Amino acid sequence: MSRYYRMSLKVRGLRSETEALGIEEAIDEEWTWEEDPHAYLNGSYYVSGESNLCGGESEEQFARRVQDAVLKAVGRPVEIEVVATFLENLPYETHELSLEEAAERLKELK
């Protein structure tokens, strides 16, 4: 069973854009990330994308896998944040306007 997610990755404490490029290369196989020419800014790298977690992998397992790839790429301790947003069955509200209510509202707007 696969589950649809938006994953966001933020890495803080980078020393150069070269480190960000190393991260980009290391995580490329881990998820479907959106291209962002401004992913590296002021010592931070941020990227996100939507795809499916498959094979029973948990959010925690995914986060660990991506964090490990980042640490291997940078080769020193950095702050890493992975945010997993489950996109199926999101909470929502419906706001309907019936014909009668629309007619009343239209009168108010005139």
pLDDT tens figures, 39-77: 899 999 999 999 999 888 999 999 999 999 999 999 999
Looking at residue 49, its pLDDT comes to 95
Question: Which residue ranges make up each domain of the chain?
Answer: 3-109
> Tell me, what's the pLDDT at 52?
94
Q: What is the CATH number of domain 3-109?
A: 3.30.70.260
pTM confidence score: 0.80
* C-beta of residue 87 within 8 angstroms of C-beta of residue 4: yes
| pLDDT tens, position by position, 6-37 | 999 999 999 999 999 999 999 998 999 998 87
User: What Cα–Cα distance (Å) separates residue 42 from each residue in 7, 22, 50?
Assistant: 22, 16, 25
Q: What torsion, rounded to 10 degrees, do the Cα atoms 81, 13, 40, 7 define?
A: -10
